[in-house]
Amino acid sequence: MVLFRNIMVTVVIIAGIGMVFGYIVSSPKASGLGAIGGTAQKFKVRKSRDLFLDKLILWSALIFGICAFVLSIVDPSIWTM
């Protein structure tokens, strides 16, 4: 049981790092204050890197949520350490 808990905690940590990394490295999708001055681009072509990072964020979030849920059901004492 301890081995399973350690593996799940490791997977949750790696998935969390994947989400943060994917969010930090991805390019901004909105024009921000550029919309006020009229310098915003209305239609941008998405790069393959951005598509990969979107998938990385999505899968990391799913894995994080599922593993955290399973971990809380199997070993609820993990949250009270």
Can you give the pTM of this predicted structure?
0.72
22-46 pLDDT tens trace: 988 887 765 555 555 555 555 666 6
| Neighbouring residues of 22: CB distance < 8 A, sequence distance ≥ 6 | 53, 54, 56, 57, 60
pLDDT of residue 36: 58
Domain boundaries, the chain: 1-23+48-74
